[in-house]
Amino acid sequence: MSEDLYQEQIIEAASNPQNMGELSEFDVETREVSNSCGDAFSVQIKLTSDKTVVEDIKWQGNGCAIGMAAMSLVSSACLTQPASSILKWGEKEMLDNLGLDQISPGRSKCMMLGLRTVQSCLKKL
């Protein structure tokens, strides 16, 4: 496991989140809440005209540093990606985004909430 769970990349992503806000036009949106801690994120996604690739994404919400960083990083990683690929992402992709080798099960829930929200949104297509 990385020596410092709140390493610089995580603190930076949580302090200066990317893609935070609202889209004026979007194709799908959803909201997810963590039952264990109350962290919550809402996601809006605009897709290409053929509805296969993420053209734009915005999110809002509150969470711990891991949750906020993960939501920020996953939203950036989704841009220009096929929805079908994003739906296959899991813990490995999230760990890679955060620069971690592994994470405790309790913190994994925080890390995965952003991806779960994005995937829930894309499943509405």
Residue that is written with structure tokens 């890679």 in the block: 96
72 contacts 108 by C-beta, under 8 angstroms: no
Domains along the chain with CATH numbers: 8-122 (3.90.1010.10)
Q: How confident is the model at residue 2 (pLDDT cuts 50, 70, 90)?
A: very low
Rounded to a whole number of angstroms, the distance between the first and last alpha carbons of the chain is: 36
pTM: 0.92
Residues 66-89: tens digit of each pLDDT = 999 999 999 999 999 999 999 999
The residues facing 56 across adjacent strands are 46
Residues 7-62: tens digit of each pLDDT = 788 888 899 999 999 999 999 999 999 988 899 999 999 999 999 999 999 999 99
pLDDT of 1: 43
| Tokens (6 digits) for 2 | 């990385």
